[in-house]
Amino acid sequence: MKMGEHIQLQRVIGYFHGTIFLFSIIIGAGIFIAPKGVLKYSLLNVGVSLSIWTACALVSVVAALSHAELGTTFPRSGAQYYFLKRSFGPFIAFFYLWIHLFSTPAGIAARVLLLAGYITQPFYPGCFVPEVPKKCLALAILLCLGILNARGVKEVTWFQTVSTVVKITVLCFISLTGIVLLVRGKKENLARFEKAFDAEVPDASQIAEAFLQGLYSYSGWGVLVRIAGELKNPGENIPKCVITALTLVALIYLLVNISYLAVLTPKEIMSSDLITLINYVGFTDWILLGLMMTGLIKLRFQEPNLSRPYKVHLPFVFGTLAMSLFLVLTPIIKSPKMHHIYVIVFVLSGLLFYFPFVHFNLGSTYFNKITCFLQLLLNVSPADDVEYISPEGVLQKIPPETATKKE
């Protein structure tokens, strides 16, 4: 680039590719793991399990629409961080990054390891896959995805489109198999649905844990807010993409779960790993979502004249906040477990880094040199211009110095 030119992300993702991108991000390994966790915490109650899956779809839609206001009000990449910093200050914004610094790679690692396990399993029939080849394949997959991501947004978008077609094909095949078995009306296939609610009913803590498992399959609906700086007309496209993608995902997930139960007994489905990791990831995600909903309510009253191209109904926001409190507090109060303590200790450990390196700005020169080195090495740089949406709903750019005064 030439001297004096501003650096700005290009808005190249429209409604179609945004929906495909969101759909592909949501539909992943979760649907192959979470049904086991939902059944476990539903006490193998088929009726409760299917009800929780339906409720998870509704909760995800409401939460995603509430969350979408952040990306449309602040249409920039990393909108969540900027929003939390503006609502609560740098302390809470730092903890958002601190949690994501570990929880996001942990979630990616879990998905890639699961994918690698599925790929290598046919080569080891009748036994467990050795850890070394599985981890080597997982690292190779991560490396390939990293190279693809570095090539640009368009290449990633087209890859997501192709992978989405493959995943939909597999899930549709599973759904079709279950539907055929149910239509045939074999006694052993229908028996699990005839008295679906006759089993033991879980308590509030178990229902919360079951929700965390089911909602894990819907995780990823906030990705469009993170890349709001690369979306065309974010005020219109983010809500439309969210509603379209989550409606399709909810329908597929419900059919897949019915198919699982038509083919396998609940006890056969229960043979798994990774349930605790899902609880950990879901627990931290809903803590952050609760903070964002609190900040959203705070800004509504603190800055009522702030331009909001898309304005979610406040009952949706309060409902999402209530769900966050239920999912986070109920397991801790009713049946505390070690992973809850791990999460709390991990979050508080961020204080050891925040006060010396952020609040008191110790070693800033050293860290600035590291930042510059990494920017040169990876060929990345933050955008210069700050974008905002005018009261007329028009996306505009303002120079950095003007933006600083405005904000």
Each residue of 330-372: pLDDT tens digit?
Answer: 988 888 887 778 888 888 888 888 888 888 888 778 888 888 8
pLDDT tens-digit series, residues 38-57 = 888 988 888 888 899 999 99
CA atoms of 74 and 106, how far apart (whole Å): 28
CATH number at residue 213: 1.20.1740.10
Helices marked H in 201-274 — which ranges?
204-218, 223-226, 234-263, 266-269
Number of domains into which the chain is organized: 1
Nearest 10 degrees: CA dihedral of 316, 36, 210, 110?
-70
Query: Amino acid identity, residue 309?
Result: P
Residue 146 lies in a domain: no
- Cα distances (angstroms) measured from residue 40 to each of 44, 140, 209, 212, 259: 6, 33, 9, 12, 17
Residue 171's alpha-carbon distances to 130, 252, 345, in angstroms, are: 27, 7, 39
The CA dihedral of 230, 289, 92, 232, to the nearest 10 degrees, is 10
Residue 397 lies in a domain: no
pLDDT top residue among 74 and 190: 74
**How many angstroms separate the CA atoms of 93 and 105, rounded?**
19
**Residue 177 resides in a domain:** yes
The Cα 67–Cα 239 span in angstroms is 10
User: How far lies 112's CA from each of 93, 96, 137, 142, 360, in Å?
Assistant: 28, 24, 9, 7, 38
Average the pLDDT over 233-242 and give the result: 85
The residue segments making up the domain with residue 40 are 15-102+151-353
On whether residue 108 sits in a domain, the answer given is no
* 131 domain residue, yes or no: no
Is residue 1 in a domain?
A: no
Asked whether residue 32 is domain-assigned, the answer is: yes
Residue 163 has pLDDT above 60, yes or no: yes
Give the pLDDT confidence of 179-218 residue by residue, as tens digits. 777 777 666 666 666 666 677 888 888 999 999 988 988 8
- 13, 235 Cβ separation under 8 angstroms: no
Asked, for residue 85, whether it belongs to a domain, the answer is: yes
